[in-house]
A = this chain, B = another copy of it.
Amino acid sequence: MHVTDDGPQSDDALDVVAIGSAIVDVLSHADDGDLERLGLVKGSMALVDLSRAATVYGGMGPATEMSGGSAANTAVGVAALGGRAGYIGKLADDELGDVFLHDIRAVGVVMGRNERVRADHDAERATGRCLVLVTGEGERTMATHLGVASTLGPDDLDEDLVARARVVYLEGYLWDLGPAKDALRRAIEVAHASDALVALSVSDPFCVQRHRAEFLELLRDDVDVLFANEEEAVLLFAAAGFDQAVAATEETGVLGALTRGPLGSVVVTASGPLQVPAEPVPQVVDTTGAGDLYAAGFLHGLTSGRDPEACARLGGICAAEVISHMGARPQADLRTLAAQLAER
């Protein structure tokens, strides 16, 4: 059941074009004992090779497969809100690649020109997958086997798609990959040439530790909008605490959206920081995708001309929706939720 690579194309402007590792999530409930037995650090994202992925998968309970990938979740969120979104990521010509392509197209995201890698079952040439173990209060622990997503390089960058973007959104995880970094630098050039904003999510505390110097350099010259959670922001700026991280963000001059889970978020603008409360959530089921959907709401707000506070509120609404169920893609109608915000 092949899904072709020829999606609907046009030359219209796109609100957000996201670039990231194309991944299908494999979600399962687990307990702390499972994590210990499998040698996983609770709350973290670990990159694993094929054999380690097989071991972790073998130790997981019955699972559900759902499309994921951090930046892809954001692109889907933007489209679900009624925005025009594009996505660039690398897939293999296998069943999970079909699943990813179907799901992202089904919400209207325009996929970049993408030469799917000929798949080889039982080899690295497969579509990437993220084994997600969801424990107690919805916390997720992830073991990611990137597969062909690890080979994303400059040749995979659909520059025409990037040039149509008003915001180019980059996933920090990609800085782990040599060829991807070259693609991202080129994407930044294209964005600047077309006066688009460049947004960066630093993705994960460990990712920040690995690429701190590069991220700080990007903030100086290349990035206009920064997404980080509290822990990531503190690590990024080697701050003594969150307030100091906010001040450091202000000094960079970028628009900063710093998230704090149930405490809401702080938007750092030229006129100072702004605290925005979180959207209440009756029951947190699975926090996978919380940051990705916050970014979707924020960027949709930004590209539809809302003020920073409204952007942060919209981000909070999208994050609240996605943590209320299993999986990192929205299930409720985000447009309706966004409209309710406008009426408040």
**Contact stretch, chosen from A64-72, A175-183, A194-202, A210-218:** A64-72
Q: 15 extra interchain contacts, Cβ-Cβ under 8 A, other than A1-B126, A62-B76, A62-B329? A: A1-B54, A1-B122, A1-B129, A2-B121, A3-B57, A3-B58, A58-B102, A60-B102, A61-B106, A61-B107, A62-B103, A62-B106, A63-B99, A64-B66, A95-B96
A233 to chain B, nearest CB (A): 31
Q: Sort chain A's interface into a size bin.
A: 35 or more
Among candidates B76, B145, B329, residue contacting A1 with C-beta atoms closer than 8 Å = B145
Q: Does A94 contact B (CB under 8 A)?
A: yes
Among candidates B1, B61, B329, residue contacting A53 with C-beta atoms closer than 8 Å = B1
Q: Interface digits, A161-201 against B, CB 8 Å rule (1 contact, 0 not)? A: 00000000000000000000000000000000000000000
Alpha-carbon distance between A234 and B127 when the two chains are bound, in angstroms: 47
Residue numbers in B under 8 Å from A107 (CB-CB): 61-62
Residues B126 and A95 in contact, CB atoms below 8 Å apart: yes
Interface residues of A in 240-287 (CB under 8 A from B): none
Residue numbers in B under 8 Å from A76 (CB-CB): 62
Q: Does A119 contact B (CB under 8 A)?
A: yes
